[in-house]
Chains A and B, each alone.
Chain A
Amino acid sequence: MTDNNELIRLSAADLAEKLAAGEVTSVEVTQAYLDRIAAVDGGERGVNAFLHVNAEEALAVAAEVDATRAAGGAEAEALHVLAGVPVAVKDLIVTVGQPTTAGSKILEGWHSPYDATVVERLRAAKMPILGKTNLDEFAMGSSTEHSAYGPTRNPWDLDRIPGGSGGGSAAAVAAFEAPLALGTDTGGSIRQPGAVTGTVGVKPTYGSVSRYGAIAMASSLDQIGPVSRTVLDSALLHQVIGGHDPHDSTSLPDPLADLVAAAKTGNVEGLRIGIIKELHGEGYQAGVENRFNDALELLKEAGAQIVEVSCPNFQYALGAYYLIMPSEASSNLAKFDGVRYGLRVLPEDGPMTIERVMGATRAAGFGDEVKRRIILGTYALSAGYYDAYYGSAQKVRTLVQRDFEAAFTVADVLISPTAPTTAFRLGEKLDDPLAMYLNDVATIPANLAGVPGLSLPGGLADEDGLPVGIQLLAPAREDARLYRVGAVLEALLEAKWGGPLLAQAPDLIAGVAGSASSVVEPVETLEAQEAK
C-alpha cells in the first residue's frame, strides 16, 4: 500500500491505473481524501473548500467498486476507467442525498429531488462523490468571498483568495482534498480559480456538457467543466461528463471527441498558436506577463508556430458580459421566492401578503453581490432600456464571436494569461466590485462566444511567488485541441520545474491551526465530519 500522503498527491490517471492493477483499493483512496479533508479543510484557518462532506456515500460507492473489481469477470472488465476515483462537486450542481446551497442562505438545507445530468454520469462511472465545494453565492464572484458560508482560502497562501466563483473546487484539488472536481464557468469561474491555485480547469464548448442540474446564473454563458491537477485528468473527467443530453435543449448533438487521446498526442509541431494582442500587456502583472512569455518560448521550441492576432472587440466584452449575465441572472433567480422550497422569511409586521413574503425572503436570503446583479439585470431588461443595454450587449457578443472566427482563420489555438494578476488578498477587492469584475477580463470572451478554454499552471510570478495561469482557447467543438496543446505545454513546464507546480506549494498541515498531526485515524475523521 502506498503512503496516504503520496496517495492523495497522485493524479487521477495514476490512481485509476493503481486501482485497476489492484495496488490500492477505492476505499483506501477515498478514505485518504476524507482524512485529508478532515485535516486541512475545517477550523479557523482551514481551506474551507467543502460545504458538505459526503463520507458515508463516497465510501459505500468505493466499497462497491472494490467488490466488483475483486469479483473479477465481465462486470470488473466493464468498470469505467475512473471507477473508484473520487471527485468533488461544486455546490451549484444538484445532487440527491446531499444538500445543495449554491453558496446562498436562500437554499440553506435544501435537498434536490433529482440529480444533475453530470452527477448521474459520475454515478454511472462509479466515482465516489466526496462532497460539495464552496463558491461565491450563485457563482457570482471571482474570489469565493461572496459565499454565504465563509470564504475559501488559497492553499498557496491562506490569506489569499482561491479565485471564484469555483474557489472551492480549485482549492480542494490544489490542497489534495480531491483529485478531481466539477466546476461551472460563466465568465471564468473554472479557469480563473485554476490559474490562481496552480491547477487545471476547463470550460468546454457551450453545449458540450449538459447544464441540466447546474443552478443557472446566466443560461447562455454557463458551462460545467472539469477541475484537476493535470491536463490529462481534466480530459478524463470531461470524457465522463460530456456528450449530448436530451434534458438540455442547448446540448450539442455531436458525439464527444476522444479528448483523452488528444491529451496523449504529445506534439504541437506545425500548430499555429495565436497570441491575442488585447489579452496581455497593459493591466497585466509583470510576473504574469513573464510566465506567459516563458510558455510561448517553450511552445515555439516544441515546433509550434506563434502568430499574433487582434480581437478589437474584446475591449467591449467585459461591459457586454456585465449586462447579459445580470439580465439572465435576474430572471433565473426569480424562482427563489420562498413559495415552493428553500428559505421562507415572513415580514416582521404588516399584512402577510405573498408579495411581502417574497420580498422579505429575498431580502434576507440573498447577499449583496446577488442583489447587485439582480438589480442591474432588472434595469437592463426594462422597457425603454432594453435596446440600449441588453440589445447592444448582444450585438457586442456577435462582434466578439466574429473576432474569434477571424482569429481562428490564422491560428489553431489562441493563448493568453488566464487572469491579469495572481491571487489577491482576502478582503482586498470586496468593496470594489469593478476591480473584482476586471479579474475576468481574459476569460469572459470565451463565454460570450461559446468557445472552449483551458487554464493550466504557467509557473510562479517573480514578485509574489504565486501561481500564474496560462489560458488556451480553441474554436467551438474543438476542445480536443486544448488538451493536445495543454498537455504538451504542461510536460515542457514540468520538465523545467522538475515536477508538478503544486509540489512547490507550502505544506498545509503545518499551516492549519488545530491540525498538528498529519495522521488522523479514519474513525475519528468520520466523527469529526459528522460534527462539522
Chain B
Amino acid sequence: MNTDAILSFEEAMEKYDPVLGFEVHVELNTKTKMFSSAPNVFGDEPNTNVNEVDLGMPGVLPVVNKAAIESSIKIGLALNCKIAESCRFARKNYFYPDTPKNFQTSQYDEPIAYDGYLDIELSDGTVFRVEIERAHMEEDAGKLTHMGGATGRIQGADFSLVDYNRAGVPLVEIVTKPIEGAGSRAPELAKAYVAAVREIVKNLGVSDAKMERGNVRCDANVSLRPHGRERFGIRSETKNVNSLRAVEHAVRYEIQRHAAVLDSGEPVIQETRHWHEDTRTTTSGRAKSDADDYRYFPEPDLVPVVPSREWVEELRATLPEPPAARRKRLQADWGYSDLEFRDVVNAGVMDEIEETIAAGASASVARKWWMGEIVGRAKNADVDPGQLGVQPATIVELARMVEEGKINNKMASEVLDGVLAGEGTPADIVEKRGLAVVSDDGPLLEAIDAALAAQPDVADKIRGGKVQAIGAIVGGVMKATRGQADAARVRELILEKLGVTV
C-alpha cells in the first residue's frame, strides 16, 4: 500500500511553485487503423479487428491512413499549431508483447504539428494560455490483461492476455511546453486543459473523446521548485489519468507528495507514477531515466508525409467553430444567465445538455435535469456526470411523463434512479415500481368523497365560492393516495363534485 508522505496543499503552495506538463493521447475515430485496413472499433471480441499488418506478420508493410493525417492536421490547426510541410515517421524500438512488431511506429523529431497554444478559461473566467510544443501521430499498442493476481497489475499475475484490437489504432499525442505560473490553480488548470483538449477533438469530430474508454488519455508531469527559482525541479509523470476529476486530483496529490519529499531534503526521483482512483494517490512505477534507449530511426517502410498547403488551408476552412465561440453561442441559444452557464460548464455537462436539447428537451428542462439531478448523483458516485451513462432520450422521456402528468417530479427522480440501476426504461420502472400518478377517476372519487366527508366545513366554504380553501381537500386526497394522485385532476374533480365553476 502507498505510504508516501504528503504536505497539505496550502503548505505546499506556500513553499513551492508547481510546473506542469501534459501529454494527452487522443485516439482518432477513423474507420480503419493507422497503418492497416483493419477496422478501428472499440469493444469487439478480442483479436477480431486485426489483420496480418496489425499482428506484425513476416513481410507486412504499413500504409499511412490518409484520414488519420487529415484528423491530425485538424487537431494541429485547432491547437493553433504550424503544420509541417514534410514530416516523417520513426521507429521506437522496444520489446514488449503489446507491440506486435516490437517497435512502435511514431513520429519522433518531425511532428506533423508544432508550436501552438490553447487558451484555457478557468472557473472564474480567468484565461490561461498553455503553449503546445507539438502534436504528433503514432499507433496505439495492444491491450494487456494480467490474470491471476489480486490487483490486476502485472506484479503477482500468473499470466497475461493480449488483445491486439487496439494495436495500430491511430493516436495523436499532444505535448505541452512546461506550464509555469499556474500556482495554486495548477490542479484546476490541469483539469480545464484536458477538458479543453477533449472538447476540441470532440468538436472536430476526429475522436469519440470518451475518457472512460481511453479515447483521451492523459499523462501528467509535475515538478516543484522553490518560489523565485528559475530552474525546474525533477518531475514525475503520472500515467493514464483517465478522467477529468482524476487529472485534477492527481496533479494536486503529486504537488503535495513532491512538497513532502523536498521538505525532507530528499531528491525527487524522476519516474512514472500510477494513479489509483480508489485511494486518490499515486504509486511508483518504472524509474525513468535518460538511459531508456529506444534506438529511434526513420521508418524506412514509409515515405514522408507532405501535406500540401492547399490541403491544409482547405481543412482550416472547414474547421468547426472553436469551443469558446461555441460556448457563447450556446449560452445565447439556451438563454442561460452567465452564472447558470458557468455552472453548467464547470460541472462539465455542456455537451450533455446540448445532446439532451437535441433529443427534444427544452433548454430549461435539460438544465434542470443535469444540474439538479445528475450532477449531484455523479458527485456522490465520484465520477464525471457524463460517465453515469444517462441517455438524453431518458431525460426527454422523463420530462414528457411529468408534463403529461403521468408522474410528478419526485417520482421522476426515483425513476431516474431506477434507470441508473439498470432496471429498464422509464416506462418499465414506472410500471414495476407502481409509480404512476393515479389517474383512474374511480379510486380518486372515493378518496374525494372521504375527504369531503371528513371536512364538511371546508366543503361548504368551497361551495360558497371560497375556492382557495380547496387545498385542504386536495391535501387530504393526496395523503390518502400516498402522493400518487395527479393533484390537478383531483382539484378538477372536487370542483366538479361540488358544482363549482371557476
Residues of A within 8 A of B (CB): 93-94, 100, 102, 107, 110, 112-114, 116, 211-216, 218-220, 246-250, 327-328, 330-331, 334-337, 339-341, 354-355, 358, 378, 381-383, 386, 390
Contact = CB atoms under 8 A, between A and B. Distances in A.
Interface centre among B61, B91, B102, B301, by most chain A C-beta atoms within 10 angstroms, is B61
Given A339-B97, A341-B57, A378-B295, 15 more contacts: A216-B61, A218-B300, A219-B301, A247-B61, A248-B63, A249-B63, A250-B303, A327-B297, A330-B295, A334-B102, A335-B102, A339-B162, A382-B293, A382-B295, A390-B297
Contacts of A246: 63
B293 A383 contact: yes
Given A334-B102, A334-B103, A358-B95, A220 B300 contact: yes
Contacts of B102: 334-335, 337
A114 B52 contact: yes
A84 to B, nearest CB: 27
A248 B61 CA distance: 6
B226 interface: no
A146 to B, nearest CB: 18
A381 B97 contact: no
Contact of B95 (A219, A248, A337): A337
A386 B294 CA distance: 11
A447 to B, nearest CB: 12
B402 interface: no
B95 A355 contact: yes
Counting from the closest, the 7 A-B pairs by CB-CB distance are: A334-B102, A381-B295, A219-B300, A220-B300, A213-B59, A215-B58, A335-B56
A444 to B, nearest CB: 16
B276 to A, nearest CB: 25
B302 interface: yes
A113 B300 CA distance: 24
B95 A116 contact: no
A65 B232 CA distance: 74
B58 A112 contact: yes
Contacts of B293: 382-383
Contacts, number: 99
B64 interface: yes
A340 B58 CA distance: 11
A334 B301 contact: no
Contacts of A102: 58
B58 A354 contact: no
Contact of A331 (B57, B58, B103, B302): B103
A386 B297 contact: yes
A429 B293 CA distance: 35
A113 B295 contact: no
A334 B95 contact: yes
Interface in B317-362: none
Contacts of A334: 93, 95, 101-103
B494 to A, nearest CB: 77
A97 to B, nearest CB: 15
Nearest to A93: B59
B302 to A, nearest CB: 5
A460 B102 CA distance: 47
Interface centre among A100, A116, A212, A220, by most chain B C-beta atoms within 10 angstroms, is A212
27 contacts: A100-B59, A110-B58, A114-B52, A214-B59, A215-B58, A216-B59, A216-B301, A219-B300, A248-B63, A250-B301, A330-B93, A330-B295, A331-B91, A331-B93, A331-B295, A331-B297, A334-B95, A335-B58, A339-B97, A339-B162, A340-B56, A341-B57, A358-B95, A381-B93, A381-B295, A383-B293, A386-B297
Contacts of A327: 297
B55 interface: yes
Contacts of A381: 93, 295-297
Contacts of A218: 300
A112 B61 contact: no
A102 B100 CA distance: 19
B300 A112 contact: no
Interface centre among B102, B160, B303, by most chain A C-beta atoms within 10 angstroms, is B102
A416 B337 CA distance: 84
A249 B61 contact: yes
A205 to B, nearest CB: 15
A331 B295 CA distance: 9
B60 interface: yes
B205 interface: no
B62 A249 contact: yes
A107 B58 contact: yes
A211 B93 contact: no
B52 A113 contact: yes
A249 B305 CA distance: 11
A341 B60 CA distance: 14
Nearest to B96: A354
Contacts of A341: 55, 57-58
B300 A215 contact: no
B59 A249 contact: no
B29 to A, nearest CB: 23
Interface in B274-305: 293, 295-297, 300-303
Interface string B58-83: 11111110000000000000000000
Contacts of A335: 56, 58, 100-102
Contacts of B58: 94, 100, 102, 107, 110, 112, 215, 335-336, 341
